[in-house]
Structure 1
Amino acid sequence: MTRFIHRVPLRFLILSDIHANGEALKAVHADAVTRGFDLTLCLGDVVGYGPDPNEAAAWVSTYADVVVRGNHDRACSNLSDYDSFHPLAQHSAAWTKEQLLPCHVEWLAQLPRGPLQVDNFDLVHGAPDDEDRYLFDAEEAAASLRHAAEQVTFFGHTHVQGGFVSRRPTGSTAALRFQTVPAQLTLEEDSLYLLNPGSVGQPRDGDPRAAYCIYEAHTSVAYFYRVEYDIRTAQEKILAAGLPEELAYRLATGR
C-alpha cells in the first residue's frame, strides 16, 4: 500500500465524483479556499457524464496531491471496458474517450487504485475491499469495514454525502446522514468510519448542490459542505455536446 504520511497538522480538502462538471468544480474550489485547506485529495471519477473532461483532468492533475482512480477513469483511459455500465454511462464514456487529450488519457491510466493511506486515514473509490463496490446500506458497510486498515476510510462512488459508523464494543453499524449542511462530525475514538464527501459534479442524494468535505486528521473532525453552482450553464454544455438530455436534467434534481 502506498503511504502519504505527514508530520504536521493539516486540513485536507476531499473531493469525489467530479464527473467532468467544470462549473461545479470551480464553485467547490472557490468555496473551499474561503474555509482553508492544505492538501487536496480526490477519490476518483474525475471524468464521465459531464461535458468538461479535459478541464477536470487538467485541474485535478495540477492541484490534487493524491488521487485514486474511479471506474469511469478506468473506462475512459482504456483500462477496462464499460459494457457493465448503464446506457447513459456507456454513451458518456464513449463520448469522453473521443474528447480526452492524449496527455489526460495517459494521466488517468496511471492513477493508482485504492486503498491509499494518507496521514492516519485511507482513500478508496468504492470500498476498502473492492474499488467498484457501492456502499449504500449499513449491512454492506459492516462487511466492508472488516477490511478497513484505518479508523476512517473516505470513499465515493455512490454520490451520497454522509457515510457509516461502526461503534464499539457492540460493532453495530449505522448510516450517517446530515439533516443540514454544513455539518461537523467529530470521530469517536472507539468507532470505525466510512465517510463520503459526496459528489462534486453529480450528486444523487436529492440535493443538487455540489458536495465536498474538509478533514482535520489531527483533531479527527470532518466538515461536510454543499455549494451552489451554475447548473444551467453545466446543462447547456451537456446538451451542446450532444450528450443525453437526462444527464443535463438530473443535475437540477440531485438524483
Structure 2
Amino acid sequence: MKFAIISDIHGNLEALENVLRDIEKEGAEKIHFLGDAVGYGCSPNECVKLIKDHCEIKLLGNHDYAALGLEAVENFNQMAQISIGWTQEKLSKQSGAILADFEMEADFLDFHLVHASPGEPDQWHYILTTAQAKRHFENFNQAVCFVGHSHMPIIFNIDSEGQVMKSNKMELERVPERRYIINVGSVGQPRDGDPRA
C-alpha cells in the first residue's frame, strides 16, 4: 500500500494544494496528517477543510491546540503568538469543530503517528538530536514513528543495542532489526532551507 504522510501546513493553502496534487500523481491510496493545520498562513479555514476531505488520520499540532484555546500562547515565540491570535479571530466555528475532532496520536499498520513526541503528545518536545531520539524510542512499540513539529526532515534509527543514528537524507531502506523515528518536515513552512514540501 502506498500512503503519504504530511505535516505542518500552517494555513499555507497554495503549498497544501500543490502537495495534494503531487500525492495524487504519485498514486498514494491514503494520506495521514500529523498536525498544525493552522498558524502563520492566511488560509486556516480552507486548509482545515482540505485536510478533513483528503486525510484519513488527522492529528492536532501545538498551533492547532493553541488556536482552540487549549494551550497558553505565552509558550510560543512572539510571531507565533500574533499568528495564533489572528487565527483564532479568523477560524470559523465549523473549522474549530473539525480541528477539535483531530486526535493526539494514532497507529496505522506498524506505524505510530504523533505531531511532536510519542508518549507525551501534548508536551510538544522537539526531536532533533540522537539523545532526544533515544529517549523517545522508549515511548512507542511500533517499528516506525512519524513526527513533524520541528519542520526539519530527519530520520533517526536505533539498533537492538540502543545505538541511535541520525540522517538528513530522506531516502530509507528499512532494516528489519532497526526501529525508526521519521520527521516528515513541513508542507507550509520549511525551516531547512529547502522550499520543497
Alignment partner, residue 116 of structure 2: 126
CA displacement, residues 7-26 of structure 1 (integer Å, 9 cap, x when unaligned):
xxx21110000111011111
Alignment partner, residue 184 of structure 1: 171
Alignment partner, residue 200 of structure 1: 187
Pairing partner for 2:11 from 9, 16, 20: 20
How many matched pairs? Answer: 195
Q: Give the counterpart letter for 1:206 in structure 2.
A: G
CA deviation after TM superposition for structure 1 residue 104, in Å: 0.5
Pairing partner for 1:65 from 56, 78, 82: 56
Does 2:134 correspond to 1:147? no
Alignment partner, residue 41 of structure 1: 32
**8 Å contact 1:79–1:109 — kept in the other structure?**
no
CA displacement, residues 136-167 of structure 1 (integer Å, 9 cap, x when unaligned):
11100001101112010000101011221112
Pairing partner for 1:95 from 58, 68, 86: 86
CA deviation after TM superposition for structure 1 residue 82, in Å: 1.2
CA deviation after TM superposition for structure 1 residue 184, in Å: 3.0
- SS, match of residue 163 in structure 1: strand
CA deviation after TM superposition for structure 1 residue 196, in Å: 1.3
**8 Å contact 1:43–1:67 — kept in the other structure?**
yes
Q: Give the counterpart letter for 2:101 in structure 1.
A: Q
Q: Give the counterpart letter for 1:193 in structure 2.
A: Y
User: Which residues of structure 1 form unaligned runs of 5+?
Assistant: 1-9, 211-255
Does 2:68 correspond to 1:77? yes
CA deviation after TM superposition for structure 1 residue 81, in Å: 2.2
Alignment partner, residue 214 of structure 1: none
Q: Give the counterpart letter for 1:119 in structure 2.
A: L
Separation in 1 of the partners of 2:152 and 2:36? 14
Q: What's the % identity of the aligned pairs?
A: 35
CA displacement, residues 156-214 of structure 1 (integer Å, 9 cap, x when unaligned):
1010112211122x321011212xxxx5312110001001111000011121222xxxx
CA deviation after TM superposition for structure 1 residue 34, in Å: 1.3
CA deviation after TM superposition for structure 1 residue 62, in Å: 1.1
Separation in 1 of the partners of 2:118 and 2:167? 18
Alignment partner, residue 30 of structure 1: 21
RMSD of aligned Cα (Å): 1.1
CA deviation after TM superposition for structure 1 residue 110, in Å: 2.3
CA displacement, residues 33-82 of structure 1 (integer Å, 9 cap, x when unaligned):
11110011000001111111011001001111111111111111122221
Pairing partner for 2:42 from 38, 42, 51: 51
Separation in 2 of the partners of 1:209 and 1:34? 16
> What does 1:160-171 align with in structure 2 at a 5 Å threshold?
160-168=152-160, 170-171=161-162
- SS, match of residue 41 in structure 1: strand
- The runs of at least 4 consecutive aligned structure 1 residues that moved more than 6 Å come to none
- The structure having more radius of gyration, on CA atoms, is 1
Separation in 2 of the partners of 1:81 and 1:35? 39
- SS, match of residue 84 in structure 2: helix
CA deviation after TM superposition for structure 1 residue 32, in Å: 1.5
